[in-house]
Amino acid sequence: MSPAKLSIDYEKELNEQQLEAVRHIDGPLLVIAGAGSGKTRTLVYRVAFLVENRIKAQNILLLTFTRKAAQEMLRRASTLLDERCSDVAGGTYHSFSYLILRKYADKIGFKRGFTVLDRSDSEDLINLIRADMGLSLKETRFPRKDTLGDIFSKAANCLTDATSILEKQYPQFFHLAEDIEVVRKRYEETKKDDNLMDYDDLLVYLKELLEKNPGTRERLSSLYRYIMVDEYQDTNKIQSSITSLLASGHGNVMAVGDDSQSIYSFRGANFKNIMDFPSLFPGSKIVTIEKNYRSTAPILSLTNEIISFASEKYSKKLRTDIKGGRKPLFVETQDENEQSRFVCYKILELREEGVSLNNMAVLFRAGWHSNDLELELRKFGVPFRKFGGIKFTEASHVKDVLAYLKAFKNPRDAVSWFRILKLIEGIGSKTAQTLHAEIGRKGGIEKIEKRLYSSKNYRSDMEELKKTASFVNDETTRASDAVRTVLDFYREIFMRVYSEDYPKRANDLDSLAVVAERYSSVEEFLTDLTLEPIEKSQAGTTRENDEDEILTLSTVHSAKGLEWHSVFILQLVDGYFPSSYCFEEPEEMEEERRLLYVAATRAKRNLYLVKPGYLNPARNYFGFSYYGTSQVSRFLSEGRILQDFVERISADV
């Protein structure tokens, strides 16, 4: 490659290791980058560097953990260099797969307009099959739909069968393995027949497409000549196979990750994968970045200490040059509500000191851990946005509306048709089945014969439904108009079904219409919502008020890759964090430790660790608070952490 005239002074703006990674052009490269070591910066500069070296942006593929992360990186690269960078292809493995499969669906036995099922859709479908097979009536209890969903998903992500997942993780169901495999087989067949794909299928079928169609593989491989993967420690087997298939023509893969931040094993990721990178891509160059640019020394000492008790030895120890800073503060409050009030007061205090709400975050292990805090924040009038936990699109009334759209667009979509038909008064599961069978056969509700329902009292509802369907299915109908028409039909049902609390829920429906404004076609609207579900607390907000100050509440998982000036970690009680769910499994317990490590390394200047002293035993069915007391998280009681690495303060509120 001829040396181009570069507009960015890379040597000045990057450290030695970052520079080494950025300047690497051809061949596999593994970058082990610790928390806060400028991982994103390295990726952004490398995009710019490649583009400056006359590599077309369209030939670069940037795979990240969320689509938001990809967009943010491309935005930064564009600011750094110029608009060329925004032509880089990027997104999550799932959204990328969707994009490809939409084009090549016919090569793997699907039709182009396939529907993507979200988790609960797929569970509903599993349940239909389960019920149909009469398995729920057996004397030994058969696993429920969510457990089955888990098992199937793990099997897909680990490239194995359900039986081996049962053996390892669900021994109590092992004797049902045969039946479970049959359910799985029928689940797979049904999806294929009805043109449906769940999240895992997007990956499964992309892999299949690449494996079985050398021509397509070569075409894609030569299009995406430079592949960059972020958060590689959280990719699983199927994703790494896809990566290596895509790279089969050139081997230009750059993977960035940190083994000590691996927190997604529940979806088949294994931090050891990152160590397999060099054997998957022979001739790999490895660069390690240990310099931290984010946190003060006392925060780093604590995080280094937390991870040092891990049973696995990780590849690096972080250093920082940021001088000064106070030790992380450890606060023990009386109960959960005092914890909430403490956080509120501290937040207001920090704001007084000039820290914007945008630079503060409250992190916790599970979505519901912030319930009490949310109430308190509302009382204090502190605006917040919550990430993680239940999604907006998971609320049942929102799912209803989406089910109308999905059903109209795909006459074979049994789950959606069942859902919406049963909403009509007088139609139960039997009638829904008959009607859906007819709709599937005729290829749309518009075409079914009137005599099927003409004598019934739901005749007029069916007629209305037909009209709604034909409006939505009109090619020229925009997403927002489709949503509004569905809402007109749904309103009456909505008020009947949610008669106790529909006024509260009504806002969500308006929000849905607002969200739909951004899309032109209904299909685009639907898949976007499934591939990138909207957080509950932001559904109603528009882009404009992004500039307002707002506090972030987030699960640790959703906080991955982000950073704030001041960070609070809540509920540091054994059983909450770590979750009592992992008490039996040493490996999962290790992941909880990494999770706390990820949480604590988000902080730049202030880190508050909060532990409520007493948790209401009624809420803790799982046995960690039998005596009405609660122990501090085991990760903090190790070694001399509480004595030497934090400063204890009183809650004082």
Partner DNA sequence: GTCGAAAATCTTTTT
Partner DNA sequence: GATTTTCGAC
Burial bucket for residue 629 (CB in 10 Å: 0-12, 13-18, 19+): exposed
Cα 625 to Cα 617: distance, rounded to the nearest angstrom: 6
Min CB(273)–DNA separation in Å: 16
Whichever of 608 and 624 has its CB closer to DNA, that residue is 624
What is the C-alpha separation between 320 and 403, in angstroms, rounded? 51
Task: Tell me which H or E stretch contains 362.
Answer: strand 360-364
Nearer to DNA, 119 or 192 (CB): 119
C-beta of 558: minimal distance to DNA in Å? 4
The structure tokens 């049942």 sit at: 396
Minimum CB separation from DNA for residue 582, in Å? 7
Helices (H), 330-413: 336-352, 371-380, 396-409
Q: 10 Å Cβ neighbour count for 171?
A: 9
Least Cβ distance, residue 428 to DNA (angstroms): 2
Calpha distance 599→457 (Å, rounded): 57
Give the ranges where 170-248 is alpha helix by DSSP (H). Answer: 177-193, 199-212, 214-223, 237-246
CB of residue 100 to DNA, shortest distance in Å: 14
Residue 531: CB minimum distance to DNA, A = 5
Minimum distance of DNA from residue 401's CB (angstroms) = 17
Give the relative orientation of helices 237-246 and 273-280 as an angle to the nearest 10 degrees: 20
Cα–Cα distance, 326 to 348 (Å, whole number): 19
- Classify burial at 297, counting beta carbons within 10 Å of its beta carbon; exposed 0-12, middle 13-18, buried 19 or more: middle
As measured in angstroms, the least distance from the Cβ of 337 to DNA is 14
Tell me the sheet residues that pair with 610: 331
For residue 610, the minimal CB distance to DNA (Å) is 18
Q: Looking at beta carbons only, is 153 or 480 nearer to DNA?
A: 153
- Rounded Cα distance between 315 and 401, Å, is 49
Task: Decide if 221 contacts 237 (C-beta within 8 A).
Answer: no
Q: How far is the CB of 184 from DNA (least distance, A)?
A: 17
- Comparing CB distances to DNA, the nearer of 512 and 553 is 553
Q: 325 to each of 321, 371, 546, 567, 646, how far by Cα in Å?
A: 11, 31, 30, 14, 12
- Pick the closer one to DNA by CB: 1 or 618: 618
Residues in the chain: 653
Nearer to DNA, 266 or 345 (CB): 266
* 270: helix, strand or coil: coil
Nearer of residues 67 and 250 to DNA, judged by Cβ: 67
Nearer to DNA, 48 or 415 (CB): 415
Which residue's CB is nearer to DNA, number 428 or number 628?
428
Nearer CB in complex with DNA: 14/238: 238
Which backbone phi and psi does 613 adopt, to 5 degrees? -75, -40
Could you list the residues that contact DNA (CB under 7 A)? Answer: 65-66, 92, 94-95, 118-119, 127, 131, 136-137, 141, 144-145, 147, 153, 199-200, 263-264, 266-267, 365-368, 387-389, 422, 425-432, 434, 531-533, 555, 557-558, 579, 581-582, 616, 618-619, 621-622
